[in-house]
Amino acid sequence: MSTLLPFTFTTPNLPTGPASKEQPLTNPIEMLLCHYPLGRYRQNPNFMLVHARPNPFDEYQGSLYAILTAGSDAPLAPSTDPLKKKFWMKTYSENKGMLEQLEAQGILRRTGEEEEQGYVKLIAVETIIQHGQWAEFCSGCETYEDLGGETRLLRCSVCKDTYYCKKECQTTHWPLHKAVCKQFRKEAAAAARRT
């Protein structure tokens, strides 16, 4: 598996410089792209930005920085590269300006597809970084991989889409995952028959 690929991100409402107890979050912010399996639409996988490391100056700061995936079931063809993912990105409101920064750093690229949803326009994007370079989410204890972690998460050997940090998390989560895992296997088999 590849190594996590951190990148820096800036936001206009934070000062620039080293973090401290008085100012625990400053620009630039070290981030990771993170895939998480919540939701039912495999054609629109969920991605978010998470802090690359725990904040030593703020123990209450969570990992999550921003949710990138827009909730949409609009059709979106999967990436032709099995190591990359395409999804509908929310580029308005609190996410305004994020896509441009992620494109400039070689994290995401626009596919040219757009979808009107109410008063907003969703933009289809594809990951430039590959599977293994983004962080994963433990479906059992709901933690994210970060640069401070000693090992990478383990993948469900059946559906290959859900991750766990340890066997206990997988065992605890199995009653919830069982039906989804079966559905993912059916979808993968159908896709394999089409190619």
Residue type, 185: R
Q: And the tokens for 101?
A: 């920064």
Give which of 30, 4, 44, 39 is closest to 131, Cα–Cα: 4
Mean pLDDT of the chain: 88
Q: pLDDT category, 157, cuts 50, 70, 90?
A: confident
C-beta of residue 59 within 8 angstroms of C-beta of residue 76: no
Please count the residues of the chain.
195
Look up the pTM and report it. 0.86
Average pLDDT over residues 124-143: 91
* Number of alpha carbons in the 13 Å side-chain half-sphere of residue 9: 24
Nearest of 76, 83, 68 to residue 132 by alpha carbon: 83
* Cα angle value 36/132/46 (rounded, 5°): 20
CB 6 within 8 A of CB 32: yes
Q: How far does Cα 125 stand from its chain's mean position?
A: 12
Contact 65, 49 (CB under 8 A): yes
Q: Using 50, 70 and 90 to split pLDDT, how confident is the model at 75?
A: confident
User: pLDDT digit string (tens) for 25-72?
Assistant: 999 999 999 998 765 556 788 899 999 988 889 988 888 999 999 888
Parallel, antiparallel or unpaired: strands 154-155 and 163-164? antiparallel
Q: Is the distance from CB of 76 to CB of 88 less than 8 angstroms?
A: yes
**Burial, 56: exposed, middle or buried (Cβ in 10 Å; 0-12, 13-18, 19+)?**
exposed
CA distance 42 to 187: 9
